[in-house]
Each structure stands twice: as C-alpha cells, then as structure tokens.
DNA sequence: CCATACATACGTACCGGTCAGTAACATTGT
DNA sequence: ACAATGTTACTGACCGGTACGTATGTATGG
C-alpha cells in the first residue's frame, strides 16, 4: 500500500469512499474500451469487486456514472493538451504540432479506441443526455482554444484554421479506431502543418 | 366490400417479400437516427407493422440486419460520391471540393447524425462484427479513392494528402453531429481547398 | 375435376437471459 | 455510534431469438 497523502485526510473531512473510486476506475476502462451502452452495471460492479447498491449509493444512475467517467476523461484530456502547450511557450504553432504528434502516435497503438468524448456523443445522440452534455462542453472549449491559437499564429482567417484543426483532430480520433495501425491518423500532424502553412501565407 | 381480390392478384403478380423491405426501411431510419444498439428488434417490427418472426425469416440476426442497413447505406454513399465525381470529369480537385461542399451543407441540417458507417464502427469496436466489417470495407475503399485522386492532382506526397482529406471528412461527420448548426464542419470544403493548395505547391 | 402435397408468408405466444434500479438487513472499521 | 459497504433477493421492462400454428396459392397426380 503506497504512502497516503495527508492532504486527503486533512482537507476531506469525510474520507473519500473507496468503493466509488474502484467503480469509476473500472467504468472508465470498460466504457472506453467497449462503449457505454455495451457495458451493463452488473459487469462493472463484478469487475470492481463491489455490489450494485454500492454503485447506486455513489452514483444516481448509470447515465450519471457515464458522465462522471467523462468528467474524469475531460480532466486527463486537458492535462495532455496543456502539456503540449507548456512545452512550447508563446509558440502556438509548435504547441499544436506537439499535441497532434502525440495524438498521431497514440492512434497507432493496437487497442486505440478514439476519444471517449467523441464516442459517447455518437452513442448518445439525444440532446441533454448527461454524458453528451459533458462531451459537448469539452468540444466547445476545444474549439475555442484552437481558434484562439490560430489567431495567435496570425492566420488571416483564424476561425477557419481553428475549425480545420478541429476537423483533423476528430478525424484522427475516428480513423485511429477505424483503421488501426498504418491508418490515415498517423498523418495528422503533417497535414496540420501543411494546413497551418497555407493559412498563414494567405 | 367489393372483391378487389382479382385486382390485387393481377397487379401483385410478383410476390416480393413485402415484410423484409419494410423492415429494412424502418431499420435504416431508426438505426441511423438513434443508433443501432439503442434500437431493439421489437421496436423495428412494431414500426414496420410486421412481426418478429418475419424479421428473422429475412435476416439471420439483428447484427446481420444492421449489416444490411449499412450495405444499403454504402450504396447510397457511393452514389453521392460519384455524383460529385461525374460533375467534374478529369478534375479531381473540383470533384473533391464538390463532394465536400455537399457534405458541409448536409452537416448543417438540424437533425444531422453523421455517417452511418462511422457511427456503427464506434458502436461496435469488436473486430469482425458484421456491421463493423461493412463499415471498414467502405472506409478502406474511400481512402484508396482519395489517395488516387490526390495522386491525379499531382501532389508530391499524394498519400499524405489523401489521408488528410479523409481526416477532414471524418472530422466533418463527427463535428456535424456534435456541434450542429454553425459548427466547424461547415468549413470542411474551405480547409480541404487550403490543404490541397499547400500540397500541390510543395 | 378434384384432392393431395408442398412452398411461401405471416401471426400468436413464448423462451431464458439481461437490463437498470431498489428494498431490507447484516457486517465491517474507526 | 456511526457511516460505508456487503448480502440477498427482488422488480418490471426489455433483450434477441424461436417453436409452432395458420392462411393462401400453386403444382401435381388420379
């Protein structure tokens, strides 16, 4: 057992429930790999070594559990994004390329399953579904940041460039899971670079 | 009730399985709009005004029904694609732009739900699933044709350009259903044009 | 001419299993 | 004591899939 942080003990007056964490971990793994609709709550609790009432004590419904999974995914996403940004301060073009290079690499891993957010939105087209709301929020923010970065690059039509980059990214997510190794997603960074180049020369 | 038996008997000389067609029509509509996993066979037969055994006489399983839906979708897809191609003989660049302009327009329709093939692949990550097989086949062929067209344009790195166009297309499918009206998918043709421009100048 | 036999197309009723979700109560650790 | 978790059993709805009977047309044979 690793050394526990006193932060959690001191700040959290109520110690975080252990079952909820295990459930969320397992849910994250299964939902991402197999899809949300494909996984039943029974399988989640079984793999987590807990029972169904425990799940419903921590999460009001399966849909909300899915939303929680996506909120966690959202956090990790922005970590990865900001990592690329922080690696190239003041150089938005290098930031984008760094991010996309990593995305392109990840899409070539054999069990790559795309973006959890994107996939959830495909699985739940219904407007207002808890999972979809989280997904949409993430994408809107991503679009905003990409357009912002495109503007910082000095693109004449920065909104178009920002949107173009978003299209390439989403295309890489999907193509990565569709084609697997050797698919078009491997070329996402190169194409983004070409697109940026063309947009700046305009 | 007058005897219209004769009329019907004479007109309806070829007793084509009426049930199967209705089932496939309804399935196409529901699968596309709501997703395959979201729709049960009971709802399909109910909406089609037939019974479940009729479905299973024409289709060996729900998965195969889904595959049939996608095969139909595939046919319609290539119709649309070749329409754009035929409109600009010998001019691959114009062909692509024509196709993408139409895609961009379609993504702005309020109930746009992306590409049925792409969505099915997201819903069924399992390798070898009947629906996924149809989807993958379609995408591989699309990639081949895009690369071919990129080469015909005279791009120095035609494979990269072809893949870049595929990424933009898939991105448009996804962004269209994610953002709806005013989303990034509206800019797919413009970005494709920029990308082509940059790839030819290289 | 008519009876039998077969093929086609469809319906009624049902199968076992799984879905998400819950009630009531027992056990554990601090 | 108290709160988190486990145990067991259950619900009603729905899942994909099927056994079996029924209506109808048609081809064949006596």
Through-space separation of residue B60 CA and nucleotide D19 C1' in angstroms: 16
C-alpha A5, offset from chain centre: 27
Q: Is the pLDDT of residue A201 over 60?
A: yes
Residue-averaged pLDDT of chain A: 91
Q: Are A99 and A81 in contact (CB under 8 A)?
A: yes
Structure tokens of A6? 């006193």
Through-space separation of residue A25 CA and nucleotide C23 C1' in angstroms: 27
Is B97's Cβ below 8 Å from some Cβ in A? no
Residues in chain B: 202
The pTM of this model reads: 0.90
* Range 4-63 of A in CB contact (< 8 A) with B: 33-35, 37-38
The Cα–Cα gap between A26 and A43 comes to 9
Q: What is the pLDDT of residue B1?
A: 33
Q: Which H helix or E strand runs over A197?
A: helix A188-201
Is B112's Cβ below 8 Å from some Cβ in A? no
Contact A167 B175 (CB under 8 A): yes
Please count the helices (runs of H) and the strands (runs of E) in chain B. Answer: 10, 0
Give the residue from A171, A173, A202 with the most B CB atoms within 10 Å of its CB, the best one to mutate.
Answer: A171
Contact B191 A113 (CB under 8 A): no
Between the alpha carbon of residue B177 and those of residues A29, A115, B114, B144, B173, the distances in Å are 25, 15, 6, 25, 7
Give the pLDDT mean for B190-202. Answer: 93
Nucleotides of chain C within 7 Å of a protein C-beta?
8-14, 18-24
Is A125's Cβ below 8 Å from some Cβ in B? yes
Contact B179 A119 (CB under 8 A): no
Between the alpha carbon of residue A23 and those of residues A44, A46, A52, A105, A134, the distances in Å are 7, 10, 10, 29, 19
The Cα–Cα gap between A68 and B85 comes to 45
pLDDT tens for residues B81-137?
Answer: 999 999 999 999 999 999 999 999 999 999 999 999 999 999 999 999 999 999 999
Contact A163 B187 (CB under 8 A): yes
Structure tokens of A175? 């193509």
The Cα–Cα gap between A85 and A79 comes to 10
Residue with tokens 């070409």: A194
pLDDT tens for residues A30-63?
Answer: 999 999 999 999 999 999 999 999 999 999 999 9
Q: Are B26 and B44 in contact (CB under 8 A)?
A: yes
The Cα–Cα gap between B69 and A37 comes to 20
């Amino acid at each position: 057992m690793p050394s526990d942080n006193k932060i959690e003990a001191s700040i959290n007056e109520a110690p975080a429930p252990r079952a909820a964490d295990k459930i969320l971990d397992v849910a994250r793994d299964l939902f991402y790999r197999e899809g949300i609709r494909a996984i039943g709550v029974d399988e989640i609790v079984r793999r987590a070594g807990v029972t169904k009432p425990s799940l419903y004590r921590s999460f009001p419904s399966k849909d909300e559990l899915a939303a929680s999974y996506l909120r966690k995914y959202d956090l990790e996403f922005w970590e990865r994004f900001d990592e690329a940004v922080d690696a190239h301060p003041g150089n938005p073009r290098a930031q984008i390329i760094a991010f996309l290079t990593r995305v392109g690499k990840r899409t070539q891993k054999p069990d790559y399953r795309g973006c959890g957010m994107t996939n959830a939105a495909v699985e739940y087209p219904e407007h207002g579904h808890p999972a979809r709301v989280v997904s949409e929020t993430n994408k809107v923010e991503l679009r905003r940041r990409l357009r912002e970065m495109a503007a910082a690059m000095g693109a004449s039509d920065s909104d178009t460039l920002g949107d173009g980059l978003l299209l390439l990214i989403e295309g890489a997510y999907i193509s990565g899971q569709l084609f697997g190794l050797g698919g078009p997603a491997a070329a996402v960074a190169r194409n983004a670079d070409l697109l940026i180049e063309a947009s700046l020369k305009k």
